[in-house]
Chain A
Amino acid sequence: GEDVEQSLFLSVREGDSSVINCTYTDSSSTYLYWYKQEPGAGLQLLTYIFSNMDMKQDQRLTVLLNKKDKHLSLRIADTQTGDSAIYFCAETRDSGNTPLVFGKGTRLSVIA
């Protein structure tokens, strides 16, 4: 079945850029998402990208998609302590008929 892989931990210094990577196996993936989970909270959608796009930028967030390598990344510029959270990558084939497949999440720790 489909699989989504992420590294489990990332530690960066405040003010540096963070890059969280994700790989997926389903070549039919159409929508790819990044979710953020702060301690004790639910998952919050950060951003998403369609498979026909290479890049999407939204303020401090940049999503890069390499469809050939099935590789997705999330770059957070000027990382702040408030960015400390677990970040989940997810993918799905369509807009609503199939479940999202989630990675196990990357725990980002920001050191002041």
Chain B
Amino acid sequence: EAQVTQNPRYLITVTGKKLTVTCSQNMNHEYMSWYRQDPGLGLRQIYYSMNVEVTDKGDVPEGYKVSRKEKRNFPLILESPSPNQTSLYFCATRGLAGRGTQYFGPGTRLTVL
């Protein structure tokens, strides 16, 4: 079954405490990306990756890091989280061939106190 998994699904943390949200896909997709969803602002792309070791900034990359060491994994790293990073985060993947359908993970709700 095609899957995009994210962990954790819910996280409450404090300002400045480094955290990582993992994303894993089993579809052998080249393209992976991270979004944050905030009320009234819709989905905003944080970072994306075209393939292993290839990453690029999206619309709102400040305060985030990513890495793509393996095709299936694309972790999102918050080195020093701040309250304005409280949000709902989605990982997504796409294959480079075909109709380009993007598949989303279930979401990670992050609260930074």
Bound-state CA distance A95–B58 (Å) is: 18
Q: How big is chain B's contact interface, by range? A: 20 to 34
CB distance from A49 to the nearest CB of B (A): 10
Is A99 among interface residues, defined by CB-CB distance under 8 A?
yes
Chain A contacts to B: CB under 8 angstroms: 8, 31, 33, 35, 41-45, 48, 50, 88, 90, 92, 94-97, 99-100, 102-105
CB-defined A-B contacts under 8 Å, sample of 29: A31-B100, A33-B102, A35-B104, A41-B107, A43-B43, A43-B104, A45-B102, A48-B101, A88-B42, A88-B43, A94-B100, A95-B94, A95-B96, A95-B97, A95-B99, A96-B30, A96-B96, A96-B97, A96-B100, A97-B96, A99-B33, A99-B45, A99-B48, A99-B58, A100-B94, A100-B102, A102-B43, A104-B41, A104-B42
